Amino acid sequence: MTPFVVHSDDVPSIERGVAPVTGTWTDYGRAAGSITCGVRRIQCAPGHRTTPVHREGADEEFFFVLAGGGLSWQDGKTYEVRAGDTILHRRREEAHTLIAGPEGIDVLAYGTRYWRGGALLPRAGVAWHYPAWVRVEQEGNPFELEAALGELDVPAPSPRKDTIIHLDAVEPRHDGNDADALYESRIVGRKLGALESGFRHIAIAPDKHGAPPHCHSAEEEIFHVLTGDGILLLGDERIPVRAGHWVVRPAGTRVAHAFQAGPGGLGLLAYSTVDPNDIAYFPRSNKVFFRGVGVLGRIEHLDYWDGERF
């Protein structure tokens, strides 16, 4: 298996939770070797909830509905969701969960990973959670505790918020500077108002390339082949990919990546961290993109360092 490339069929799933807060979970991010962000698939039976009601303190989350549908429960209100919808939850905003509809729900849950410092006093049963010590539950887990609270109050659906959108409602941006690069991208994260992560859908025309080969200094990317097949260009390697493949590109690898579609085209979901210090390097054109300031330029390689030649 190529490092940072894995197919969904090769990743084991686990049953997690206690009814009605239960489902089948598959951790694709860790299976593919992601470091600063992750993605899990959650499949729930009708009427079940994906997670305990929660509010993220540090992480920004996207949920993409692969199949089925149901209700997005947010701070006591509900919003209908269906296949092709993306839901954004910014940190420290609404408490949320998803409730599966009559056909169940199948979602991808993307999130940043911010490891915050803290301290646990297991004998005293308290933990440091800025700005205070808080009491912690020593027995049970969040799913069991949530299930014990009984059913949620589920009101009739409200008009959708601007943090929920269907792919079809995002205007595509068309790219292609030459005959060998032709694709369109729907920049979903920016449309929803994401602050700390990016999410988009990319459709590459049959036998064409997507973005030119490039690598990032500070941002990690996770790609999911949603439809079609093609080739992952990874440095000098050419790796076949098809629907169900996951590709992780950690920051700072210095190995450029790109995708080329097969005869039927290639549809990708692309998720990434957002870092204003990120620099993208394009080895074919010898260009660098200083993303935080929006400056693109060509560089000259010098064969010395600190005044000393190699």
* Segment holding 146, helix H or strand E: helix 142-148
Is residue 233 located within the same domain as residue 283? yes
| CB burial string 140-175: b at 16+ within 10 A, e below | eeebeebbeeeebeeeeeeebeebbbebeebeeeee
Is residue 254 located within the same domain as residue 175? yes
pLDDT in tens, the chain (310 residues): 567 999 999 999 999 999 999 999 999 999 999 999 999 999 999 999 999 999 988 889 999 999 999 999 999 999 999 999 999 999 989 999 999 999 999 999 999 987 766 777 777 788 877 778 888 776 668 888 888 888 899 999 999 999 999 999 999 998 765 556 688 999 999 999 999 999 999 999 999 999 999 999 999 999 999 999 999 999 999 999 999 999 999 999 999 999 999 999 999 999 999 999 999 999 999 999 999 999 999 987 655 555 555 4
Under DSSP, the state recorded for 143 is: H
Expressed as residue numbers, the domain containing 114 is 5-165
Given 144, 165, 186, which residue is the final one in a domain?
Answer: 165
Is residue 155 located within the same domain as residue 177? no
| CB burial string 197-208: b at 16+ within 10 A, e below | bbbbbbbbeeeb
Is residue 155 located within the same domain as residue 293? no
Is residue 159 located within the same domain as residue 204? no
Burial class (CB in 10 A: 0-12, 13-18, 19+), 225: buried
Q: Which residues contact 141 (CB under 8 A, 6 or more apart)?
A: none
Given 137, 165, 193, which residue is the final one in a domain?
Answer: 165
First to last CA, the chain: 36
DSSP result, 114-126: -----EEETTTTE
Measured from the Cβ of residue 236, the count of other Cβ atoms closer than 10 Å reads 7
3-state SS class at 257: strand
Given 122, 141, 165, which residue is the final one in a domain?
Answer: 165
| CATH code, 42 | 2.60.120.10
Is residue 138 located within the same domain as residue 196? no
pTM of the entire structure? 0.91
